[in-house]
Amino acid sequence: MSTAPDAGAAGTATVAAVSVRDVAHVYGRGGSAVRALGPISLDVPAGEFLVLVGPSGCGKSTLLRLIAGFDRPTSGAVTVRGEVPEPGRQSGVVFQQPRLFPWHTVGDNVGLALRYAGVPRAERPARVAELLDRVGLSGTAGRRVWEISGGQQQRVAMARALAGDRDLLLLDEPFAALDALTRERLQEDLRRVGHETGSTSVFVTHSVDEAVFLATRIVVLSRRPGVVTLDLPVDLPRTGLDPDELRGLPEYAALRAETGAAVRAAA
Ligand SMILES: Nc1ncnc2c1ncn2[C@@H]1O[C@H](COP(=O)(O)OP(=O)(O)OP(=O)(O)O)[C@@H](O)[C@H]1O
């Protein structure tokens, strides 16, 4: 299936990394049916870091699951680079809990994802090292998952999601269970990884600050069934400022205020 092409920056036609067209999703049937989402339409261009914010139960995870291909929408169409998404094919997913194999090593957890992605065995050790390096875990390939901290486990989950050159990352409140300091470190590293790799990300959070810090675009959803109530480009510098300087910018405060007001209005 193909999507309607958008006009690219240079005027050439490009296919959006993610296209959500008139999508609505209902769980169950009849009297017990739950209208979870939509109708909603969104295009996510390649390289964008889209953050979805909205009240609890508004359908954020549902939208992410549809983009991952875990579910098909009740109506409308979701495509990833013009294809109907299949789990694990076009995107890597990071959940709130890292969901690793605890009895395996860090390297084996990432290596397994490479194996599923069809990377030849001989190439895997170097690719594992490269991926661990990218998420700030150099030299940990031989450690057991139960020996490392929760924050490090979430870094392994990120490395696993990046394996196999899938350039779409879907993250569902990945840092919500971490302490504040670890959460900030991971946010900083994810921001850097997104910028360095040019990967496309869709990230779900309840935190307005996390949204402004990470996003190149913020979308706020209404209460269930979630529809878009704010679609805000975020044009903060991606390099050259440390996190405290970034958070100190007047533009940062303005984006926080605008997003926070939209989230409160939606709740
Ligand atoms: N498998 C399911 N069967 C029935 N209802 C479901 C199912 N999954 C989700 N729902 C309902 O659909 C609605 C949207 O759920 P979803 O998890 O997408 O919301 P969310 O915005 O991610 O919530 P939260 O921020 O609390 O994680 C909720 O009312 C939820 O209870």
Tell me how far apart the alpha carbons of residues 20 and 60 are, in angstroms, rounded to a whole number: 13
Sequence ranges of the domains in the chain: 6-90+166-266, 101-165
Q: What is the mean pLDDT of residues 12-27?
A: 86
Nearest-CA residue for atom 7 of ligand 1: 27
pLDDT digit string, tens, across residues 176-213: 989 999 999 999 999 988 888 888 999 999 999 999 99
Q: Is 263 in the pocket of ligand 1 (CB under 6 A)?
A: no
Q: What percent of the chain is predicted at pLDDT more than 70?
A: 95
Looking at residue 65, what is its pLDDT?
97
Evaluate if residue 35 carries a pLDDT over 50: yes
Evaluate if residue 131 carries a pLDDT over 90: yes
Q: Is 32 exposed, middle or buried (0-12, 13-18, 19+ CB in 10 A)?
A: exposed
Nearest-CA residue for atom 31 of ligand 1: 57
pLDDT bracket for residue 14 (50, 70, 90) = low
Give the torsion through C-alpha atoms of 120, 95, 52, 73, to 10 deg: 80
Evaluate if residue 68 carries a pLDDT over 90: yes
pLDDT digit string, tens, across residues 216-246: 999 999 999 999 999 999 999 988 899 999 9
Q: What is the mean pLDDT of residues 34-38?
A: 95
Report the separation in Å between the CA atom of 59 and the middle of ligand 1, taken as the mean of its atom positions. Answer: 6
CATH number of 6-90+166-266: 3.40.50.1820, 3.90.600.10, 3.40.50.150, 3.40.50.300? 3.40.50.300
Evaluate if residue 7 carries a pLDDT over 60: no
Mean per-residue pLDDT over the chain, rounded: 91
Tell me how far apart the alpha carbons of residues 24 and 225 are, in angstroms, rounded to a whole number: 8
Evaluate if residue 10 carries a pLDDT over 50: no
ipTM of this model?
Answer: 0.97
Q: Is 66 in the pocket of ligand 1 (CB under 6 A)?
A: no
Looking at residue 166, what is its pLDDT?
75
pLDDT bracket for residue 1 (50, 70, 90) = very low
Q: Is 211 exposed, middle or buried (0-12, 13-18, 19+ CB in 10 A)?
A: buried
Which ligand 1 atom sits closest to the C-alpha of 54? 21
Q: Is 211 in the pocket of ligand 1 (CB under 6 A)?
A: no
Report the separation in Å between the CA atom of 213 and the middle of ligand 1, taken as the mean of its atom positions. Answer: 25
DSSP result, 164-209: GG--EEEEESTTTTS-HHHHHHHHHHHHHHHHHH--EEEEEES-HH
pLDDT bracket for residue 171 (50, 70, 90) = very high
Looking at residue 117, what is its pLDDT?
86
Q: Greatest CA separation found in the chain?
A: 55
Give the torsion through C-alpha atoms of 185, 60, 4, 83, to 10 deg: 80
Q: What percent of the chain is predicted at pLDDT more than 90?
A: 81
Report CA torsion sign: 251, 255, 260, 261.
Answer: positive
Q: Is 58 in the pocket of ligand 1 (CB under 6 A)?
A: yes
CB 217 within 8 A of CB 49: yes
Query: Which of 20, 23, 27, 263 most suits a substitution to test ligand 1, by most atoms within 8 Å of the C-beta?
Result: 27
Nearest-CA residue for atom 2 of ligand 1: 27
CB count in 10 Å sphere of residue 74: 16
SS3 helix, strand, coil % of the chain, rounded to 5? 40, 25, 35
Q: What is the mean pLDDT of residues 79-93?
A: 93
Report the separation in Å between the CA atom of 34 and the middle of ligand 1, taken as the mean of its atom positions. Answer: 9
CA–chain centroid gap for 196, Å, is 16
Query: Which of 224, 229, 263 most suits a substitution to test ligand 1, by most atoms within 8 Å of the C-beta?
Result: 224
Q: Is 202 in the pocket of ligand 1 (CB under 6 A)?
A: no
Tell me how far apart the alpha carbons of residues 18 and 44 are, in angstroms, rounded to a whole number: 5
